[in-house]
Structure 1
């Protein structure tokens, strides 16, 4: 049986480098090609693994499938705050269509999801040359998308409203910072049903929510002979609440079958050449900053950013560890932009998608559940130290948010053990576990149990069960705050479930690494309730603590991201002074 191969690369044909992944059968024999236009912002973070799975299903049907990040989003170059961001997104779609044309596919099919459907249906190449169009849960008005994502950003924000000061020229969405001009441009976009069906006729699939079955888009598609299908609850797919659980929606196999039927039986063989490095910007003195792509033997994807030619010699290295199912670019693309900040100051940053997350490895049904804080979780996270040469480093800092901060602590300890001559730092951001010991994995409920009538029902029940377990653990942590004597805290910390910040930090220090703490408002309050400051003082432990008056737990808010950025640069001993010219946005094209 022919295998499936996904190849990450940069598209550097015309303009700024775009991150792409091409998925096809290993023998290169395909019946046609498809382009997946992903959603924007926080929804892209949550759905990336799902669309990798769709790409693999299409490749199994011998359809070469290209996925990409729009300019200024994810791992693509460009600034997310560019006033012309929407135009750059449109150009990104056109460039990907051109790439598939150059491979020999003049009329690719297009799958467009949520806000991606809004962008795709406004792209002239998609409207006029795509052979088939699948609109999945389409957002038909940009104004609605902007407003709902602004509301979500506000909903996840913490801290008093009177101190929440955002840059006046920006509009903050969940997972996306837009220039106000770009936000206005996006708000004006709509899906015109008549123009959508004008060319595609019956070769259009609309997957819509029940409330939209009688809407203008669904009606136009049906009248043109296309296919309209209702969809189930999409929340676990587009807005995963918990870091350990995501979802592969039930509609995915049907989308793959529908697209497969749009192609004939004849095949052609392609052998694309991948560009695995790109210059993503320049320092103020003109030195190019380069990101290299690396795929390990077992499929883990690594992004490695430094000044061109300095990857192996840079002596200050930052390694990021994402939360659970979150992809390597981080919340609101923080890690991607942090990589340029570090590299432009002479350092190096390494990002990766851990096994079973984002682009790493082939997808599997069990990807939907991640066993956080377990021994396998630590092992997978530490794998990055086996794959990247850090022998020249004088300072290695590991940063993570939430569950990623727990992993960053383990990675800092391991780095101290492997590189005794280097300074190892854990930048611990909004930790939700103050116990370094891996948890005993919670047994999963068997799918063979007769009560589970469908995989979807099983997944929902498993999800709720894990949330109850996590809630009980959090409640037990609060009990820890009532214990004051140092010896009692140390003794109680040996009991699983009781977690003490002072014992956690002291353990890291005793094993050769240093710690920097970063908190948003809610997590800072929790640290204080856990007697964090006083317990550290009783142990005479001095730890750098940065807190933001505004922020959120997962790191999407500008307040917590600014605090993270300063702490990472300070951990590496790099200046916080600007390295970007006033007229040069972060991740600008080469000039």
Structure 2
């Protein structure tokens, strides 16, 4: 028995099923959401290893009569964020075939409780799979399949001996060697982010951080030795280019897996830009294969639903709870975080995610920041705008705009559902999420905003820019030629902008015709909103090119000047661990400055910049 399995056994022995008493009783009809296809989606917490609450989503036919259950095991870190909507579509497809499909986050990952840098993380992930399967069985379902994507396939296979009898198992674009996967993760971090300057027992990866003990345990997993037993049918949905790999061949032979080729996986799980796509065709093929492994007999199920759970405890014993919600006319999915003693009228921080990220933010920063703020008596709401995460139905071959008119309407509706006045609200966001936070503050007011690595400085410019990534995704020569011409004209305009008198430049910014930082900052200042801006080097260069420093200097003598902080290092996406740590301190400092003890708010070190 290797160390990972020993850790797994010790965790499983501690696995129990506590009753998670809801912090607020939520009517069942509020928690259930029916899609146009007649599929119900239910947001819930399920009991995980030890006392950890795992976030989960259940998809099932509207009559609750099912042929079986399929537990879906997600990838890790950045791949989980990229593949999130695709896994939702898989769950929708399985429910259409008559299954209860269960998606969940591993302990310490996503929205689940626990720490991502837990030394026993790998054992906790395996125990989470077992907990999800056990939850499906308690709902009255005997016939169960497990589907794992990327590292999810490796983790599920490693936990197979603890899962009981399985009807089927799908290994979707599986990670076969844990050791090779770790090398891939760490190399990708060095190439796309930077070297990790930390000298501790943790390893940075794109989208997260792992303890060195967890890295060792993950390296010890090997799917090529996987033996599911003769009663479990296995499908290996693999990329054609990996078919001849010796480890892949060995995995196929040992597991007796049926082989299916899948396409477009890079654009799905590891896109080179913020533009990603959902491979609907392959998802339908996988769900059809699973369906063929089950009979037609149905069982009525009534899964245990818990809308609120204890997710962490402060050093002084204060319990932090999170409540699953649906807010606004768009039924946006949201999670509210607060201490057990915090009221619904407490000061509230709203987190806005960027691009195709869902509510956990960059590398789980929003989750960790929300739980930290709760320890200071500040409630947080993090949510999915329409077309991301768990808001809205996943469309065929979906690709969602970053800032659509619908998203703006939905977020304004969401803010209107909060039972706190503008003076008790703050908004936190990165890139397009920062723009959305500034937009909401300009429309509804706010005590404070924290704008991280923002690039669109015009509140009135409500049409998202077309990037090269969008054009590449179109795969059209005509679109590419049009883009080249438009980019040439744009670049010429940028070269000429330095000759435009600043008052004219600012006026054009207010009209939304140019990217003048002062136009946004002055709007927020006039509304009495405390504004903190943090910029990575590439965003600082954009800020400077658009005369941002001149604008901040002009605002420095105002009653409520903005604080613009230049990090001097790090990356735009906040994948760099030092960047996230710096930003995490800024978030807490800004919240305390707005709502709490000013003496504990912003340190001299964190206020270095301009306008401070």
TM-score range (shorter-chain normalised) is 0.7 to 0.9
Q: Secondary structure at the match of 2:119?
A: coil
Matched, 1:250 2:281: yes
Moved more, 28-37 or 379-388: 379-388
Distance apart, 1:92 and its partner CA? 0.4
Q: Which has the higher contact order (CA 8 A, sep 6+)?
A: 1
Instruction: Call closer, same or farther: CA 1:576–1:125 in 2, change over 3 Å.
Output: farther
Distance apart, 1:551 and its partner CA? 1.7
Instruction: Call closer, same or farther: CA 1:460–1:50 in 2, change over 3 Å.
Output: farther
Give the root-mean-square deviation of aligned CA atoms. Answer: 3.0
Distance apart, 1:127 and its partner CA? 6.7
Instruction: Call closer, same or farther: CA 1:41–1:463 in 2, change over 3 Å.
Output: farther
Confirm or deny: 8 A CA contact 1:476 1:497 kept in the other structure: no
Distance 1:462 1:274 in 2: 50
Confirm or deny: 8 A CA contact 2:78 2:206 kept in the other structure: yes
Instruction: Call closer, same or farther: CA 1:533–1:22 in 2, change over 3 Å.
Output: same
Q: Secondary structure at the match of 1:76?
A: coil
Matched, 1:402 2:425: no
Distance 1:470 1:27 in 2: 52
Distance apart, 1:307 and its partner CA? 0.7
Distance apart, 1:488 and its partner CA? 2.4
* Alignment map for 1:387-466 (pairs within 5 Å): 387-391=417-421, 394-416=423-445, 424-440=447-463, 459-461=474-476
Instruction: Call closer, same or farther: CA 1:567–1:576 in 2, change over 3 Å.
Output: farther
Matched, 1:342 2:365: no
Matched length: 552
Matched, 1:169 2:198: no
Match of 1:553 in 2: 572
Match of 2:223 in 1: 191
Moved more, 462-471 or 542-551: 462-471
Moved more, 171-180 or 488-497: 488-497
Instruction: Call closer, same or farther: CA 1:343–1:479 in 2, change over 3 Å.
Output: farther
Instruction: Call closer, same or farther: CA 1:352–1:547 in 2, change over 3 Å.
Output: same
Distance 1:337 1:183 in 2: 21
Question: What do the CA deviations read for 1:20-44 (whole angstroms, capped 9, x no partner)?
Answer: 1111011101101100000001000
Match of 2:298 in 1: 267
Match of 2:307 in 1: 276
Q: Runs of 5+ in structure 2 lacking a partner?
A: 1-35, 467-471, 601-612
Confirm or deny: 8 A CA contact 1:94 1:125 kept in the other structure: no
Confirm or deny: 8 A CA contact 2:534 2:566 kept in the other structure: yes
Distance apart, 1:151 and its partner CA? 2.1
Confirm or deny: 8 A CA contact 2:223 2:251 kept in the other structure: no
Question: What do the CA deviations read for 1:157-187 (whole angstroms, capped 9, x no partner)?
Answer: 26xx6xx622422100111211111111111
Question: What do the CA deviations read for 1:265-318 (whole angstroms, capped 9, x no partner)?
Answer: 110111223101011111222111110111246432110001114141323x21
Question: What do the CA deviations read for 1:199-235 (whole angstroms, capped 9, x no partner)?
Answer: 356x211111223213344455368764212222312
Match of 1:287 in 2: 318
Match of 1:17 in 2: 53
Query: Which among 80, 83, 86 is matched to residue 44 of structure 1?
Result: 80
Moved more, 546-555 or 66-75: 546-555
Distance 1:35 1:126 in 2: 14
Instruction: Call closer, same or farther: CA 1:35–1:409 in 2, change over 3 Å.
Output: same
Match of 2:469 in 1: none
Distance apart, 1:500 and its partner CA? 1.0
Confirm or deny: 8 A CA contact 2:427 2:450 kept in the other structure: yes
Distance apart, 1:474 and its partner CA? 7.6
Distance 1:295 1:514 in 2: 29
Distance 1:467 1:7 in 2: 42
Distance 1:225 1:441 in 2: 49
Distance apart, 1:52 and its partner CA? 0.7
Q: Secondary structure at the match of 1:498?
A: coil
Query: Which among 22, 40, 49 is matched to residue 5 of structure 1?
Result: 40
Confirm or deny: 8 A CA contact 2:75 2:150 kept in the other structure: yes
Confirm or deny: 8 A CA contact 2:373 2:380 kept in the other structure: yes
Q: Normalization by structure 2: what TM-score?
A: 0.83
Distance 2:462 2:303 in 1: 44
Q: Normalization by structure 1: what TM-score?
A: 0.86
Distance 1:300 1:60 in 2: 22
Q: Runs of 5+ in structure 1 lacking a partner?
A: 417-422, 444-456, 579-591
Query: Which among 328, 331, 341 is matched to residue 299 of structure 1?
Result: 331
Instruction: Call closer, same or farther: CA 1:476–1:404 in 2, change over 3 Å.
Output: farther
Q: Secondary structure at the match of 1:292?
A: strand
Confirm or deny: 8 A CA contact 2:346 2:379 kept in the other structure: yes
Instruction: Call closer, same or farther: CA 1:374–1:361 in 2, change over 3 Å.
Output: closer
Confirm or deny: 8 A CA contact 1:97 1:125 kept in the other structure: no
Question: What do the CA deviations read for 1:462-498 (whole angstroms, capped 9, x no partner)?
Answer: 9975986996798478447624643122233256552
Q: Secondary structure at the match of 1:48?
A: helix
Distance 2:465 2:241 in 1: 38
Distance apart, 1:401 and its partner CA? 0.8
Moved more, 534-543 or 545-554: 534-543
